[in-house]
Amino acid sequence: MVSATTAPPKASPPPSSRRLSPALKKRRRRGYALFALFAFPNLALIAVFAYWPILENLYLSLTSWDFISPEPFFVGFANYTSLFASESFRNVLWITLVWVVVVVGVSLLLGVALAALFSMKLPGTTAVTGIVFAPHVISGAAIAAVWLFIFDQNYGLARVAFNMLGMSSPAWTTDANWALAALLIVSIWKGVGFVAIVYLAAMQGLPSEVLEAARIDGAGRFQVFRRITLPLLSPTTFFLVITQTIGAFQAFDIIAVMTGGGPAGATTTLSWFIYDQAFQRSNVGYSAAAGTVMFVILMAITALQFKFIEKKVHY
């Protein structure tokens, strides 16, 4: 076990240890066989449960099926035309847009602010960092349950806050005007610690000489942060925007436990819609079409940001 200490996390240049030993053909063939034995089970699972679904989903989106009848019935693009013709689906897309923009935007703003606070290294920071990050490793369903109680109109913590402002607490999760806000608060509360930690790690990697130099030149703390720290953090910001956006699009457990997409569809995001259509209404083709829409959007965002990164990340 002592040998474990001798394994430092090296950032050495890409290893050149891939040269094959000048072995006999037989030995090489044994290597191939062993590779297959070691890697193919995992690769097969990835093929079946990650790649195949994308293709099959594409096919299903061109069919009408209810899980029960023997064969999916080919309908061409009918699912797509009816999706985009439907008022309720356009509403779903709108709610999803609001959801993603607010979750990602607020999480990043609060996250970078928290990271700046943590990087002051005041006593107690380590403990607070842990506490803020903890919700990230806790079940979303459990967090949703706790917040359901917090949002309880009569006995919840939210009522304390509203009473302090001289108001009475709304019915949050059952009020169509408040339900989405409630879910947004919970989602941001769960995810902001992760954003803060990623930003914090990035800040600690910044060249301290540059920041010190700016301070010596008379730049204020806020000015340094805005003019130097933030631009230097832009690669981190891009990384977080991608991952947080992809995550926000697929938010599910909090919605399922707190509102179930309601009231009156007020919290039906694309992810809930896909689930609801397939597993509660057995509209397989319709759900698959919505799934393809999500897939295309996420791929477009990924591609767009990869392109953006190439241009902007390095200064």
- Which residues have a Cβ under 8 Å from the Cβ of 115 and sit 6 or more positions away? 195, 196, 197, 199, 200, 202, 203
Q: Between 105 and 207, whose beta carbon lies closer to other proteins?
A: 207
The least distance separating other proteins from the CB of residue 63, rounded to whole angstroms, comes to: 12
- Taking the complex as a whole, how short is the minimal distance between the CB of residue 99 and other proteins, in angstroms? 14
Q: How far is the CB of 315 from other proteins (least distance, A)?
A: 20
Run of H or E including 64: strand 63-64
- Comparing CB distances to other proteins, the nearer of 87 and 216 is 216
Half-sphere CA count of 115, side-chain side, radius 13 A: 26
Q: In angstroms, rounded to a whole number, what is the distance separating the alpha carbons of residues 45 and 41?
A: 6
Between 17 and 87, name the residue whose CB sits nearer to other proteins. 17
For the CB of residue 237, give the shortest distance to other proteins in the complex, in Å.
Answer: 13
Instruction: Calculate Rg over the CA atoms of the chain.
Output: 25
Q: Which is closer to other proteins, CB of 75 or CB of 146?
A: 146
Which of residues 104 and 143 has its CB atom nearest to other proteins in the complex?
143
Burial of 92 (0-12, 13-18, 19+ CB in 10 A): buried
Cβ distance to other proteins smaller for residue 187 or 287? 287
- The beta-carbon contacts of 269-278 under 8 Å, at least 24 apart in sequence, are 269/92, 269/95, 269/96, 269/99, 270/92, 270/93, 270/96, 270/294, 271/96, 273/89, 273/92
Residue written as token pair 């309720």: 88
Task: Tell me how far, at minimum, the Cβ of 307 lies from other proteins, in Å.
Answer: 15
Q: Rounded to the nearest whole angstrom, what is the least distance from the CB of residue 22 to other proteins in the complex? A: 12
The nearest distance, CB 90 to other proteins, in angstroms, is: 20
Q: Which run of H or E residues covers position 63? A: strand 63-64
Residue number with CB closer to other proteins (86 or 168): 168
**294 in Cβ contact with 249 (< 8 Å):** yes
